[in-house]
C-alpha cells in the first residue's frame, strides 16, 4: 500500500458496536479526531448485553450521557434480580438475588448506579453522543486489510454501498471487531483460556399473555429449569416483547436449522409452563459463550479492545462492561500520546493493565455461570472453579499492579474477594461528595481530561504540593490539575455533608495524611500516593509524572 492515503486521522476504530462506539465517544470527549468503520448498516437491532454496571455508568456519567441512557432504559427501570424456577405457572422457584442494591448501600461507593439498558437501546445513545462530538462514524464500511510501519497504519476500507475502495492513514488502529476479530487474526495473535463454554439461540418473540404469568416478578432474567425445555427468559418491555435464550448443542451435531419456528414456540410454552401461550417469533440469532483472552493486546500501532481482546461468559454482564472499560483506559492514553504530554511507551501499559483484569474477570464470569447453573452450561472439570465472590469487587475494585502506576502492591490480587477502595496506587480513586463554587460533585467527576493532584487545603505541605503542581502544569506541557480539599479560603473543593460519602475526610479515604498528596489519572485510577510532606515536592512530582507518563 502507498503511504499517501485518501484520508488521514490520528485514530482509526474498526467496529461500531458497544466498545467501538464507547471508544469514539471517549476520544471525542478528549478532542481526538478519529474515524470509525463498521461493516453492518446500523446499530444492533437485537436486545442483548443489557447490564451496565456501576463503573461503566460512572464513565458514561463523566462523558455526559448518563441521563440519555437512563431515558433509553426507562421501560426496565423497575426490573431487579435473577429468578430461577421450573416454571412461571404458580409461585415456585427462588431468587438467586432479589435486589442488586438492597438498602441503597452502593451510594457510599459511587455517585451513580447500575442500569439495565439493552444494547439495541444503548448503541443509538452512544452513536448520537459520538457524532455530536465530531466523530466520523461510517456504517456499512468494512476494513479490507491494513499494513503498519514505525509511523502509523495504512488501512484499505470498502464502502459496501458503492463498493468503492479507499485508504485511511492513521497513527493508531484500534480493533473493536468482535470475538472472531479479522484484525487479531491478521496479526497472528493467539488466545488462551478454556474456549467455548456453551451455545444458545436467542429468540425475540411477542406474547401478550406472558405478562400474566410473570405477574409482579419483574426480573432482569429468569432461568427456567424444566429439563425438557430449559432456557433464560428476559423482558424487553414487561408487557408483550420478550427474549428467550434456548440452549443449542452444536457439539452434539445440532444445527441452527433445527430451531424452526414451531420448535421454538413449543419450547417456550413448555419452559414457561403455559401450554396455550401465544408466542409470535419475531427474530432469532445464535451466540456462543466462551472464555478466551488474547495473548497480547498490542502489536506495534494496532491495539485490541472488547471482544477482540477477550470473551467471557454472559453471567454478570462482565464482558461488555470490561470492553467499555478497555476503551476508557485506552482513550486517555491515546489522547495523551497524540497530544504530546505522554511518551509513546504509555500505550504499552494498556496491555499490562487490561489483560490481567480480563483474565481475572473472565474466570469470575465462568464461576458465576456455574454458581447460577446457566441453562445449557455443563462445565468440564476445572472450568468455572475459581473464586465466587460478589459482583462489587469485580466491578469497582479491580486494580492495576503494573503499568502507568507507581508503588502498586504486587501482593494484592487483581480482583479481590472483598470490597477495598482505599486509594491504593493502581485502584480506582474513592468516591466522595464535594462542592465546588457551591455546586455538588463527586470526586469521580474530576477525572477525564488531565492528571489530577489532590492535596489538603489546611496544611502547609498541601499548599506546597499545590504550588508545585501549578508550576509543572505551567512549564512542562503536562495536562495537570491540582485541587486543595477542605475548609477555608484556599480550598478549591469543600466537603459536602449530605448523604453517603459526604463529609468524609479526603486524606483518610485515600490512605494518606493532610501533609500527603494523591495523583489520579484521567481514568480515575490512582497513579501514585505520597503519605506525607517531602523536601522538594516539585522535583518529586516531576519525577513521578515522567515515570507514570513515560516521558523522556
Residue 548 CB coordination number (10 Å): 21
Contacts of residue 493, Cβ cutoff 8 Å, sequence gap at least 6: 434, 435, 436, 457, 483, 484, 485
Indicate whether 447 belongs to any domain. yes
Picking from 290, 305, 332, the residue at the C-terminal end of a domain is 290
Rounded-to-integer distance, Cα 480 and Cα 494, Å: 20
* CATH code of 235's domain: 3.30.9.10
Picking from 290, 316, 343, the residue at the C-terminal end of a domain is 290
Indicate whether 493 belongs to any domain. yes
Give me the pLDDT at residue 382, please. Answer: 56
Give me the pLDDT at residue 100, please. Answer: 76
Domains in the chain, number: 2
Residue 410 CB coordination number (10 Å): 7
- CA angle 274–277–283, rounded 5-degree value: 120
Q: Could you tell me if 155 and 170 are in contact, meaning their C-beta atoms sit under 8 angstroms apart?
A: yes
- DSSP-based three-state secondary structure for 177: coil
Return the half-sphere exposure (C-beta side, CA atoms, 13 A cut-off) of residue 208: 0
C-alpha distance across the termini of the chain, in Å? 32
Indicate whether 384 belongs to any domain. no
CA pseudo-torsion sign 439, 444, 445, 447: positive
Measured CA to CA in angstroms, residue 218 lies from 204, 254, 380 at distances of 18, 33, 33
The CA-based dihedral angle spanning residues 338, 344, 346, 347, taken in that order and rounded to the nearest 10 degrees: 80
Picking from 257, 290, 323, the residue at the C-terminal end of a domain is 290
Bridge partners (DSSP) of residue 440 are 435
Indicate whether 520 belongs to any domain. yes
**Residue 533, all three cell numbers:** 510532606
Indicate whether 210 belongs to any domain. yes
User: Which among 341, 321, 318 has a CA at the least distance from the CA of 521?
Assistant: 341
Indicate whether 437 belongs to any domain. yes
Contacts of residue 361, Cβ cutoff 8 Å, sequence gap at least 6: 310, 312, 318, 322, 394, 398, 415
Q: Could you tell me if 224 and 375 are in contact, meaning their C-beta atoms sit under 8 angstroms apart?
A: yes
Per-position DSSP letters for 381-413, written without gaps between them? TTTT-S----HHHHHH----SSSS-SS--TTS-
Q: Could you tell me if 290 and 160 are in contact, meaning their C-beta atoms sit under 8 angstroms apart?
A: no
Return the half-sphere exposure (C-beta side, CA atoms, 13 A cut-off) of residue 414: 16
Q: In this predicted model, what pLDDT tens digit does every residue of 218-273 receive, in sequence order?
A: 999 999 999 999 999 999 999 999 999 999 999 889 999 999 999 999 999 999 99
**Residue 467, all three cell numbers:** 504550588
Rounded-to-integer distance, Cα 43 and Cα 122, Å: 9
* CATH code of 446's domain: 3.40.30.120
Indicate whether 252 belongs to any domain. yes
Measured CA to CA in angstroms, residue 354 lies from 20, 169, 192, 360, 528 at distances of 16, 26, 15, 10, 18
Q: Could you tell me if 208 and 292 are in contact, meaning their C-beta atoms sit under 8 angstroms apart?
A: no
Residue 170 CB coordination number (10 Å): 24
Q: Could you tell me the pTM of the whole model?
A: 0.94
Q: What share of the chain is helix, strand, coil (3-state, %, to 5)?
A: 30, 25, 40
Q: Could you tell me if 366 and 313 are in contact, meaning their C-beta atoms sit under 8 angstroms apart?
A: yes
Give me the pLDDT at residue 1, please. Answer: 42
Indicate whether 338 belongs to any domain. no
Q: Could you tell me if 172 and 302 are in contact, meaning their C-beta atoms sit under 8 angstroms apart?
A: yes
Range(s) of the domain holding residue 448: 433-548
User: Which among 496, 493, 533 has a CA at the least distance from the CA of 514?
Assistant: 533
| Residue 323 φ/ψ, nearest 5 degrees | -65, -45
Residue 217 CB coordination number (10 Å): 16
Enter the DSSP assignment of 508: H
User: Which among 54, 58, 114, 107 has a CA at the least distance from the CA of 444?
Assistant: 58
Rounded-to-integer distance, Cα 360 and Cα 514, Å: 35
Segments in the chain below pLDDT 50: 1-2, 384
Rounded-to-integer distance, Cα 395 and Cα 415, Å: 9
Amino acid at each position: 500500500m502507498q503511504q499517501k492515503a485518501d484520508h488521514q486521522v490520528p485514530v482509526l476504530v474498526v467496529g461500531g458496536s458497544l466498545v467501538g462506539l464507547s471508544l469514539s465517544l471517549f476520544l471525542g470527549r478528549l478532542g481526538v479526531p478519529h474515524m470509525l468503520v463498521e461493516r453492518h448498516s446500523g446499530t444492533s437491532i437485537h436486545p442483548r448485553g443489557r447490564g451496565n454496571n456501576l463503573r461503566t455508568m460512572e464513565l458514561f456519567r463523566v462523558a455526559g450521557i448518563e441521563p440519555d441512557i437512563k431515558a433509553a432504559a426507562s421501560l426496565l427501570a423497575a426490573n431487579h434480580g435473577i429468578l430461577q424456577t421450573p416454571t412461571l405457572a404458580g409461585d415456585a422457584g427462588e431468587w438467586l438475588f432479589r435486589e442488586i442494591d438492597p438498602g441503597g448501600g452502593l451510594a457510599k461507593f459511587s455517585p451513580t448506579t447500575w442500569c439495565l439498558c439493552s444494547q439495541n437501546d444503548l448503541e443509538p445513545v452512544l452513536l448520537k453522543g459520538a457524532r455530536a462530538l465530531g466523530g466520523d462514524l461510517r456504517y456499512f464500511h468494512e476494513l479490507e486489510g491494513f499494513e503498519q510501519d514505525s509511523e502509523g497504519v495504512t488501512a484499505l476500507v470498502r464502502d459496501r454501498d458503492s463498493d468503492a475502495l479507499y485508504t485511511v492513514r492513521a497513527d493508531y488502529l484500534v480493533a473493536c471487531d468482535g470475538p472472531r476479530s479479522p484484525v487479531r487474526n491478521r496479526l497472528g495473535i493467539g488466545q488462551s483460556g478454556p474456549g467455548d463454554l456453551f451455545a444458545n439461540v436467542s429468540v425475540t418473540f411477542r406474547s401478550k399473555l406472558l405478562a400474566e404469568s410473570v405477574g409482579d416478578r419483574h426480573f432482569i432474567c429468569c432461568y427456567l429449569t424444566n429439563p425438557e425445555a430449559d432456557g433464560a427468559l428476559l423482558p424487553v418491555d414487561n408487557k408483550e416483547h420478550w427474549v428467550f435464550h434456548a440452549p443449542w448443542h452444536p457439539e452434539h451435531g445440532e444445527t441452527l436449522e433445527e430451531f424452526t419456528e414451531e420448535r421454538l414456540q413449543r419450547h417456550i410454552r413448555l419452559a414457561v409452563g403455559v401450554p396455550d401461550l401465544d408466542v409470535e417469533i419475531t427474530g432469532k440469532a445464535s451466540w456462543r459463550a466462551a472464555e478466551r483472552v488474547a495473548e497480547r493486546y498490542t502489536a506495534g500501532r494496532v491495539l485490541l479492545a472488547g471482544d477482540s481482546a477477550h470473551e467471557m461468559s454472559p453471567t454478570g454482564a462482565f464482558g461488555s462492561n470490561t470492553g467499555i472499560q478497555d476503551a476508557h483506559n485506552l482513550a486517555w492514553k491515546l489522547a495523551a500520546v497524540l497530544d504530546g504530554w505522554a511518551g509513546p511507551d504509555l500505550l504499552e501499559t494498556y496491555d499490562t493493565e487490561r489483560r490481567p483484569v480480563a483474565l481475572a474477570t473472565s474466570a469470575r464470569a465462568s464461576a458465576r455461570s456455574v454458581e447460577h447453573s446457566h441453562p445449557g452450561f455443563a462445565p468440564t472439570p476445572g472450568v468455572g472453579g475459581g473464586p465466587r465472590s460478589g459482583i462489587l469487587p469485580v466491578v469497582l475494585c479491580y486494580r492495576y499492579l503494573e503499568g502507568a502506576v507507581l508503588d502498586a502492591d504486587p501482593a494484592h490480587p487483581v480482583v479481590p474477594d472483598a470490597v477495598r477502595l482505599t486509594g491504593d496506587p493502581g485502584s480506582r480513586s474513592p468516591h466522595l461528595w464535594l462542592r465546588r463554587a457551591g455546586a455538588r460533585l463527586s470526586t469521580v467527576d474530576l477525572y477525564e481530561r488531565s492528571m489530577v493532584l489532590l492535596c489538603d487545603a489546611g496544611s502547609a505541605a498541601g499548599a506546597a504540593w499545590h504550588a508545585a503542581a501549578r508550576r509543572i502544569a505551567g512549564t512542562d506541557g503536562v495536562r495537570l490539575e491540582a485541587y486543595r480539599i477542605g475548609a477555608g479560603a484556599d480550598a478549591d473543593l469543600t466537603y459536602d455533608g449530605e448523604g453517603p460519602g459526604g463529609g468524609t475526610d479526603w486524606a483518610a479515604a485515600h490512605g494518606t495524611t493532610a501533609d500527603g498528596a494523591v495523583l489520579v489519572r484521567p481514568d480515575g485510577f490512582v497513579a501514585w500516593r505520597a503519605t506525607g510532606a517531602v523536601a522538594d515536592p516539585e522535583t518529586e512530582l516531576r519525577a513521578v509524572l515522567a515515570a507514570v507518563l513515560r516521558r523522556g
